[in-house]
Structure formats: C-alpha cells, structure tokens
A and B are shown apart, each in its own frame.
Chain A
C-alpha cells in the first residue's frame, strides 16, 4: 500500500513538473504570437505537429537524447502540454473585445499595462481551460513512462500486465484515473477563484 502511495506521489510530481515547465514556455509564447501575429501560424502548426506524434514514439525519440528515466518522461510531458496552453493563451487573448483594448489604449495604458490589467485577466478562463487539458493529458501519458524506465503508477500497471496480475493492474490504474479526475476538479476550483467576480 505504501508503495502505491509513493508511486502516486511520484506520478503527480512527474505530471506537474511537465505542465509547470510547459507553462513557463507556453504562456510567454502565447503572448508573443498574440503580439506578433506573423509568427502565430508557424508556432501553432509546430506545437500541433508535436501533439500528433504518438506518445510511445515520442518517448523513444526523446530517450535517444535524454536517456532512460524520468527526465525523458518529463520532457515528453512538456512537449505535449505546449499545444493546449499556447493555443488557449493565444485564443483567449484574441477573444478580448477590441473595444476594451481601445478603451485601455485611449485611457493611456501602456502595452504592458493593457496585458496585465485587461488582456490577461480576460483571457484567464480560456488559459485555465488549456492548463486543465494539459494536466489531465500529462497524467495519462505519464503512465507509459515506465516503458523508458520512468516511475509513477505506470510501474504497477506494467508489472501487472506482464504477470497478468489483475490486482496489481488495478492498484496502478485506479489511482491514476482518480488522480486525473481530482486534478481536473481542483483546477476547476482554482479557475473559479482566479476569475474575478464580474465575469461569467
């Protein structure tokens, strides 16, 4: 039982690490292509292509660079998380009503102030939706990390499969599923708290 717990924690750590690193890249990238629309096509297609690479293939490819183990798993999770966050940051910012942007400009907000006080807060619900998708996806993909020597709940699932041990499969897959559901639920809560009262 303790083993299940430890692997669950590790699983969560891997997933969160992947999403967190992705956030640091994806949100600035989303803002960048919003500001410089000329790059939007290239960046979005590129993240789109990354997204379509089958996960086992991705792990195998990354393994060639990062070797066996959790680093490779995290790298894969980062890459998969990019698309939903970049795309939603870009879409969310683009959806901000032009008249609000003009009002901000007309009142003498600088570009940065507009971003900080108007554009990002108004795009936040959409950005958060992207983060939720990324997190749930990451928790799912992390389960196959075991194939390239990663940890997490995949370890139990894989061992269970090899030994046709139903109990072990369940001990791995049920916590993984619960983790995904719980993460989605909690992020939903956070989303509600982050979004100012006047918006719905």
Chain B
C-alpha cells in the first residue's frame, strides 16, 4: 500500500529530521509509529500527504510515486486526523464531516446519507448531533467527528497524528477500543503516530520504533516485547510494561 524508499527530510535550518527511512506498509495494516518527542514521526507522516516534501527518497502509494500526483487531489484521497482535532468552529458537525465530499462535488442527498451513516457508526444520533457546533461537544465527541471526517469519502489510507493524545485517559481508552473495532470492520490501512507505548501495544499490527529520525526496530507488539532489538527498545517499552504485557498474553 505505502512504500517509503530511503526517504529523508532535512529542514531549512539543516536539521535532519528523518534519515533514509525505508518501510513497506501493507494493505489493511494498522501501523503505529512511536518514539520520543522530536524523533521525526510527524515529519514522516506529513510526507505521505505531502504537507512536507522529502529532501530525498520516494514514497509510493499503491505503486504510484506521490510526487507525480497533484497534492490537493492526493490529500482528498487520504484521511488525516490530527491531535488538535481541527474541527472548523464555524461549521456545524455535518458540514465538518462532509467537507471532502463537498470539495469532490457530491450531491446533497448523498452527503446527508453519508453523514448519517458515519454518525451512526460511532453511535451518535444524527438527529441530535448533525446540526450542533463543535463547541457544543465534549473533547471525545469532537475527536470522534475528527475521525469520521477522515473517513467520509472512504479513503483506503488514513494518517493519524497522536489523535487521542489530548484526551483524558478514560475517554482515550474508549476511543482506542472503538477505533480498533472500526478499523477491523472497515479494513483501512492506517499509519498512526503516538508517543504512548500502551496505545501502540493495544492498537498496532506492527510497530515502528524511531529514534533521531531513524528506525530502531520494526515488529509486531509481541516481537518488540519479547525480543527488543537493543537497550533503547527495552528501556522505551519499560520493564513493568513488558511484564504486564507478557502476563496478559499468557492468560
């Protein structure tokens, strides 16, 4: 689905945020990128929808080199969810959800139907919520809408940058559960950035652990916990978390 081929990003100030990043993300995979703050996760993610252009290397989505695509068109085909949620306060919930459909010129009926369908997906009654404004929703509800907005035109690929990072622990937990179920049901390819190891272990099919712009280890949660590549990986996961994970596995 998505291939990173020796992708690097050097910012104007000379800082190399991502170095020779190579990875193949499979169709329908839930890939989590994790690592300490500043290790280049966001930079890597934003290169996929061309909010940032790589200095060298190539990214392919379904065989196609993305630099050959029109960035606006490309972005409409990729879901994008950010930590700050980024709902437009001047638009009602239904308008927030159907932005991309509107940009693509869907008919009014089709859009309305899609909004209802999406709201029902997260058990928010369209009758109640469609006409509300973001400021009238809780943080958790807002980010549910943020996720629905990214799903609106059924993009096969969704990019998520610490989407649950700003939520309180309980809400975060609920949304993680909900979202995992949703992802399995909809069979999307997801690249998900977080700095929270619990979240990564819970959601990921595969985890990419990064440090200073480079990949330290790629593997399933099991692999990372059971055979960490080095000292950095095991410290990053943490011994108590490793034990908890192994215990819940054997149960």
Whether A122 contacts B86 in the complex (CB less than 8 A), given A108-B73, A108-B103, comes out as: no
Query: A103's closest neighbor in chain B, by CB?
Result: B86
Chain B residues with CB below 8 A from A5, complex form: none
Write out, one digit per residue, whether chain A residues 85-127 have a CB within 8 A of any chain B CB (1) or not (0): 0000000000001011011111111100100011001100000
Query: Does the CB pair B72–A122 fall under 8 Å?
Result: no
Residues in B whose Cβ lies below 8 Å from that of A100: 86, 88
> In this assembly, does A67 line the interface, its C-beta being within 8 Å of a C-beta of chain B?
no
Contact of B75 among A106, A117, A196 (CB under 8 A): A106
Cα–Cα, bound, A97→B100 (Å):
20
A189 within 8 A of B: no
- Whether A198 touches B82, Cβ cut-off 8 Å, given contacts A107-B99, A108-B74, is no
Contact A107 B80 (CB under 8 A): yes
- Quick one: closest B residue to A111, CB to CB? B72
Inter-subunit contact B149/A117 (CB<8 Å): no
Chain A residues within an 8 Å CB radius of B86: 99-100, 102-103
1/0 per residue, CB under 8 A from A, across B49-76: the answer is: 1010000000000000000000011111
Contact between A198 and B72 (Cβ–Cβ < 8 Å)?
A: no
CA A51 to CA B135, docked complex, whole Å = 38
In the bound assembly, the distance between CA atoms of A35 and B203 in angstroms comes to 40
Which of chain A's residues have a CB closer than 8 A to the CB of B181?
none
When the two chains form the complex, which single residue of B75, B84, B90, B136 contacts A107, counting CB atoms closer than 8 Å? Answer: B75
Q: How far is the CB of B5 from chain A (nearest CB, A)?
A: 23
Considering the chains assembled together, what is the distance between the CA atoms of A200 and B90 in angstroms? 10
Interface size class of A (residues with CB under 8 A): 20 to 34
Residue contact B51 to A106, C-beta cutoff 8 Å: yes
A106 touches B72 (CB 8 A): no
Partner of A102, one of B82, B91, B133, B135: B82
Nearest CB on B from A116, distance (A): 11
**Contact present for A118 and B88 (CB under 8 Å):** yes
- A117-160: CB near B (< 8 Å → 1, else 0) gives 11001100000000000000000000000000000000000000
Tell me, yes or no, whether B237 is within 8 Å of chain A by CB: no
Partner among B51, B88, B92 whose Cβ is within 8 Å of the Cβ of A105: B51
**Least Cβ distance of B137 to chain A in Å?**
10
CA distance A117 to B98 in the complex (A): 13
**Cα-based distance from A108 to B69 in the complex (angstroms):** 13
Residues of A61-105 at the interface with B, using a CB-CB cut-off of 8 Å, are 97, 99-100, 102-105
Contact B134 A108 (CB under 8 A): no
Q: Contacts A99-B82, A198-B134 given; indicate if A108 touches B88 (C-beta within 8 A).
A: no
Q: Known contacts A105-B75, A106-B80, A108-B103; is A196 also within 8 Å of B90 by CB?
A: yes
Chain A residues with CB below 8 A from B91, complex form = 117, 196, 198
Query: Is A117 in contact with B88, judged by CB distance below 8 angstroms?
Result: yes
A198 partner, pick from B49, B84, B85, B135, beta carbons under 8 A: B135
* Chain A: CB-nearest residue to B71: A108
**What is the bound-complex CA distance between A106 and B91, given in angstroms?**
17
Q: A197 contacts which chain B residues (CB < 8 A)?
A: 92, 133
Q: Given the known inter-chain contacts A103-B82, A197-B133, A198-B134, please indicate yes or no for A113 contacting B75, CB distance below 8 A.
A: no
- A1 in the interface (beta carbon within 8 A): no
Question: Is A199 positioned at the interface, with any CB of B under 8 Å from its CB?
Answer: yes
What A residues does B76 contact at CB under 8 A? 107-108
Say yes or no: A198-B89 contact (C-beta < 8 A), given A108-B73, A108-B74, A109-B103: yes
For the complex with contacts A99-B86, A122-B90, A196-B90, 6 further pairs of A-B residues with Cβ separation under 8 Å are A99-B85, A109-B99, A113-B103, A117-B91, A121-B90, A198-B92
19 A-B interface contacts by CB (under 8 A): A99-B82, A99-B84, A102-B82, A103-B82, A103-B87, A107-B75, A107-B76, A107-B99, A107-B103, A107-B149, A108-B103, A109-B72, A110-B72, A117-B99, A118-B88, A197-B92, A197-B133, A198-B136, A199-B89
